[in-house]
Chain A
């Protein structure tokens, strides 16, 4: 895992490119499976991520029809927690580097 701790570069000296590498965003991808119910998946997206009704439904349908959907993106540690939470709900989720 990358960290800026101990870096010899001060914040001002850090160029944009390097900062981009260090703070590279990660994303949580949820994969389709034949067991999880559409109502359940929509409920998880609404209650856990706080997505709106429409957004949750859109993501749920994207998982269902296209096989996967990016449900959240941001700092790595936060995304790791989301992946574990999805596994706790029984959803197949993976952590990926954002494109």
Chain B
């Protein structure tokens, strides 16, 4: 049985079962793959024969949406279109409600945002190798961000769009059947939510009072 994150004299620790650590690490790896694939698509590094049809279709859809993209995802004004995938679009959101402004901002900042997220996720996988999982004060926010990206990805895959959806997922997780992929994802979402809540509650507790 997992024991939540709590503050220690040197940071934070949580006792997780080895299968829990393995599942979380695998989820981090999945998000890493998504982000890396996006990077490769933009730099044109990926052109394996098998994905041609899919790429053509994605391009076609962007054209259809009136974004007039080049194949590398840049638009006529030199901006960068958001990812088609909903989970990726949530991890790398638009920085402006004005699509043109958002595309320009993305052109300048998306790759560094991707790299920061990749570094967080890789560090989280390292931390998940340990038993107990222990984090220094410096590592805790890094682990928290990675865990949050995992949660955002699961929530997107589960179609969570409002608080009622989120509540439904928690109910599904409570039922605990894990009989379907969706039920398993719901359990993982509830588990990572619980883990993150305990970590940040502990972090808020030890945060010094205002100057």
- Residues of chain A having any CB pair with chain B under 8 Å: 34-37, 39-40, 42-43, 46-47, 52-53, 80, 83-84, 87-90, 92-96
- Chain A residues with CB below 8 A from B112, complex form: 84
Task: Please pick, from A34, A46, A52, the residue contacting B166 in the complex, using a CB distance under 8 A.
Answer: A34
Q: Is B207 a contact partner of A34 (Cβ separation < 8 A)?
A: no
Do most interface residues of chain B lie in helix, strand or loop, or is the interface mixed?
helix
Whether B96 pairs with A95 at a CB distance below 8 angstroms is yes
Report the Cα distance A23→B96, complex, angstroms: 19
Task: Please tell me if B116 contacts chain A, counting CB pairs below 8 Å.
Answer: yes
Q: Are A34 and B163 in contact (CB under 8 A)?
A: yes
CA distance A40 to B193 in the complex (A): 11
A88 touches B117 (CB 8 A): yes
Please report the C-alpha to C-alpha distance between residue A84 and residue B162 in the assembled complex, in whole angstroms: 24
Cβ contacts under 8 Å, B55 to chain A: none
Given the interface contacts A40-B148, A94-B94, does A47 sit within 8 Å of B162 by beta carbon?
no
* B interface residues with partner A (beta carbon < 8 Å): 91-97, 101, 105, 109, 112-113, 116-117, 120, 141, 144-145, 148-149, 151-152, 155, 160-163, 165-166, 193, 196-197, 200-201, 203-204, 207, 209-210
Complex contact A39–B197 (CB within 8 A): yes
- Please give, as numbers and ranges, the residues of chain A lying within 8 Å of B145 by CB-CB distance: 88-90
CA distance A96 to B98 in the complex (A): 9
Contact partner of A87 among B95, B120, B151, B197, CB < 8 A? B95
* CB-defined contacts of A47 to chain B, threshold 8 Å: 141, 207
- Compute how far the CA of A52 lies from the CA of B117 in the bound complex, rounded to whole angstroms: 27
Residue of B whose beta carbon sits closest to that of A88: B116
Q: How far is the CA of A45 from the CA of B209 in the complex (A)?
A: 14
Using Cβ atoms and an 8 Å threshold, which residues of chain A touch B204?
Answer: 39, 42-43, 46
28 of the cross-chain contacts (CB-CB < 8 Å) are A34-B165, A34-B166, A35-B155, A37-B193, A37-B197, A37-B200, A39-B197, A39-B201, A40-B148, A40-B196, A42-B204, A43-B207, A46-B204, A52-B210, A53-B209, A83-B95, A84-B95, A87-B92, A87-B113, A88-B113, A88-B116, A89-B145, A90-B152, A92-B93, A93-B93, A94-B94, A94-B95, A96-B96
Please state if A35 and B152 are interface contacts (CB–CB under 8 Å): yes
Cα A93 to Cα B200 with chains together (Å)? 20
Q: Output the nearest chain A residue to B167 by Cβ-Cβ distance.
A: A34
Contact B113 A84 (CB under 8 A): yes
What's the minimum C-beta distance from A45 to chain B, rounded to whole angstroms? 11
A93 to B92, CA, bound (A): 11
Q: How far is the CA of A3 from the CA of B201 in the complex (A)?
A: 43
A46 touches B95 (CB 8 A): no
